Amino acid sequence: MKENRVKVAVTGAAGQIGYALLFRIAAGEMFGPGTKVILSLLELPQAIDAAKGVVMELQDCAFPLLENIEVSDSPEVAFADADWALLVGSVPRKKGMERKDLIKINSQIFIEQGKALSQTARKTCKVLVVGNPCNTNAFIAKETARNIDPRNFFALTMLDQNRAYAQIVQKTKVPLTAIEGLVIWGNHSATQFPDFYNATIKGRPLIDAVADEEWLQKDFIQKVQQRGAAIIHARGLSSAASAANAVINTVQKLLNPTASAERFSLAVVSDGSYGIEKGLIFSFPVRSNGKDWEIVSDLPLNEFSQKKIKESEQELLQERAAIKSLLEK
């Protein structure tokens, strides 16, 4: 039997999400029990020692599937021959920093990493961006990684989807598995739209089962949009284990055929579907056949949904405008 092996580059490996993610990848949760894993960790020079500590712990877990671990502070070295790149590391927003400042600072990281991916990763490498602002960071990496198909660039919105499911479970007390098709549109930000109109509970429209459209339109959307902030408020730190879990979910969903009635949230390059500007990295309802993905194309959108989706598109167009001149250099 042919031995499967996958090389996964993870940036920000010494950070919170890195710590919650790497052990699950090494244990085989992401690629399954038949695939050996090589981890290639990228960190800033000042965090290399901390990353080496994580490596020691990974070694001490004696994971049978973990074939090798490499650490580097050079993107070209860390991405060499990577099959997957999970771009987690970025500069967090600090007090007094505006979103547009954050976008500019992080854009430099993703320009550099996009170029490095293009130079040294496999041409088939798939790139999932977690570091915020993740849609625009993924857009930048896609634009700068000339040798990699734009369809291989993704940004994480699975955590938002999982948060939406959790809110509906809390409201209705139905089991999580009874809910289907609840998907996030747009930007991973406070403009994202969790599309409850196209979701079902036990096969019935979710809005009928919840029977409180006002709650769905206001509180539910707000709770999903603001969940990250609520976690920072409660924990004093941003979500880490749930974010890592969503990264695992996303890769699994891309690698396995989507069940016939299902779809999942993933920010992918827009092909103009639903009138969204081509080229933006936008969260759509997506399906996979295990090898390739497609945007689910036939969902009805009412006036309310269209307005919400357009608002999120506008925000992403503004983010794109803010970094456009940097890409032209």
Which residue ranges make up the site for ligand NAX (CB under 6 A)? 11-12, 14-18, 42-44, 47, 88-92, 109, 130-132, 134, 156, 159, 188, 228, 238-240, 243
Taking the complex as a whole, the smallest distance from the CB of residue 23 to ligand NAX amounts, in Å, to: 14
The smaller minimum CB distance to ligand NAX, of residues 11 and 288, is found at: 11
Q: How far is the CB of 108 from ligand NAX (least distance, A)?
A: 8
Q: Which is nearer to ligand NAX, 283 or 305 (CB)?
A: 283
Taking the complex as a whole, the smallest distance from the CB of residue 88 to ligand NAX amounts, in Å, to 5
Contact status, residue 139 vs residue 281, Cβ threshold 8 Å: yes
**Pairing state between β 84-87 and 126-129:** parallel
Closest CB to ligand NAX among residues 107, 209? 107
- Do the beta carbons of residue 250 and residue 128 sit within 8 Å? yes
Beta-strand relationship, 4-11 and 84-87: parallel
Question: Which single residue brings its beta carbon nearest to ligand NAX?
Answer: 15
Question: Minimum Å distance from CB 251 to ligand NAX?
Answer: 14
315: which residues sit within 8 A by CB, 6+ positions away?
Answer: 186, 187, 189, 191
Helix, strand and coil content of the chain, in percent to the nearest 5, comes to 50, 20, 30
Distance of alpha carbon 227 from the chain centroid:
16
Cβ atoms of 25 and 37 closer than 8 Å? yes
User: Which residues does the annotation mark as catalytic?
Assistant: 188
- Which is nearer to ligand NAX, 92 or 272 (by Cβ)? 92
Burial of 324 (0-12, 13-18, 19+ CB in 10 A): exposed
Tell the smallest beta-carbon distance from residue 34 to ligand NAX (Å). Answer: 29
